[in-house]
Each structure stands twice: as C-alpha cells, then as structure tokens.
Amino acid sequence: EVQLVQSGAEVKKPGESLTISCQGSGYSFPNYWIAWVRQMSGKGLEWMGSIYPGDSDTKYSPSFQGQVTISADKSLNTAYLQWTSLKASDTAMYYCARAYSAKYLRFDYWGQGTLVSVSS
C-alpha cells in the first residue's frame, strides 16, 4: 500500500529555521516525483515545487523559489521542505504528494499534511 507520512505539527517563531519531512512507503520512492503543496487557512492549493529523489532534480514555483529548499534522501525514502528564516506568512498546512506519470501526470497519493504555525 502506497503511503506518504508527514512529520508532526510545528509551532515556531519568526526568524527560526524549520525542516518538515515526508516519508514514502509501499512503492519505489526514488522513481517518482514528490511535490509540496501549501494551503493557507481557508484558501486554495498552491504548488511549491517538486523533487525527483532518484537524482534530486528539483523544480520550484517562481512564487517559492528562494523562499524554501526542497531536498530528498532516497536511502531514507524521505523528502524534506526547509525554511531558513520563517515568517508569519508561512503559517499554513503543507502537504506532500506523489506525482505519478504514466504519460499523464497526477498527484495520486497525498500525505496527511503538516501544520506549521509561525507566531511571535
């Protein structure tokens, strides 16, 4: 069974650093893109970027380029989303999803989400 399990909720202060994780199981983790998606409270879905764990090829949305870093450790079947200096505006739910492609891409499995709260 394919599963993506994300790390737990985080409460941080502005300026702090943070890394959240997404561990895949039940499939060949290195061979599928992992996407990160932001959802601010009461708002829609925003694609942040994606990584191919097999070779760490990474794509970022221009909206998030330079604001976050996406990485992966294929030996641990885990992808990461990292901030070096959080802002209050980073408060949101963050989802990881597997981007499956057999000709047509789609996000077929999702993690349960990680809630990040940033407040002084």
Partner 1 sequence: DIQLTQSPSFLSASVGDRVTITCRASQGISNYLAWYQQKPGKAPKLLIYAASTLQGGVPSRFSGSGSGTEFILTISSLQPEDFATYYCQQLNSYPWTFGQGTKVEIQ
Q: Which of 31, 112, 117, 119 binds partner 1 (CB under 8 A)?
A: 112
* Footprint of partner 1 on 78-107 (CB under 8 A): 95, 97, 99, 103-107
As given in the structure block, the two tokens for residue 6 are: 């994300």
Is the CB of residue 70 less than 8 Å from the CB of residue 79?
yes
> Half-sphere exposure of residue 67, counting CA atoms within 13 Å on the CB side?
13
Give the nearest distance from C-beta 105 to partner 1 in angstroms: 4
Please count the other Cβ atoms lying within 10 Å of the Cβ belonging to residue 25.
Answer: 11
Give the nearest distance from C-beta 113 to partner 1 in angstroms: 6
Q: Which is nearer to partner 1, 15 or 69 (CB)?
A: 69
